[in-house]
């Protein structure tokens, strides 16, 4: 996968990355990213790096995250999350109406 990451590099370097409005946890590092330039590099690392799902979830929980939203069809990630920490609220969203519903439920 490293050759794919190197082909992706010039594409990502041509795109402006703003600092995210909230910490984004990466699968490659299991750590929050708060700067746009760091996010760009994290995307490149994620192409070829091992997925550190368990560590990322634990880091999110330790940072104070209290609920999760799985976006897309199915609930595979919700199942994986339940295997790490039972009882954490998980919301499933697969369409725009679901996004609105969960946003109201979470008070955002």
On the question of pLDDT at 103 being above 80, the answer is: yes
CA dist 22 → 11, 31, 69, 76 (Å):
24, 13, 15, 24
| CA dihedral for 52, 55, 61, 67, sign (positive or negative) | positive
Nearest to 78 by CA among 105, 28, 69: 69
What are 34-64's pLDDT values in tens digits?
Answer: 999 999 999 999 999 999 999 999 999 999 9
Torsion of CA 54, 55, 57, 63, to 10 degrees: 160
Q: Kindly state the tokens that stand for 83.
A: 């295997």
For the whole model, what pTM was predicted? Answer: 0.82
């Amino acid at each position: 996968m490293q050759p794919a990451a190197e082909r992706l590099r010039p594409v990502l370097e041509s795109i402006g990355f703003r600092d995210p409005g909230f910490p984004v946890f990466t699968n490659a590092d299991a750590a929050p990213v708060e700067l746009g330039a760091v996010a760009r590099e994290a995307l490149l690392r994620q192409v070829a790096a091992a997925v550190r799902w368990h560590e990322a979830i634990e880091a999110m929980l330790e940072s104070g995250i209290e609920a999760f939203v799985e976006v897309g069809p199915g609930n595979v990630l919700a199942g994986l999350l339940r295997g790490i920490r039972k009882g954490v609220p998980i919301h499933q969203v697969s369409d725009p109406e679901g996004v609105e519903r969960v946003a109201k439920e979470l008070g955002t």
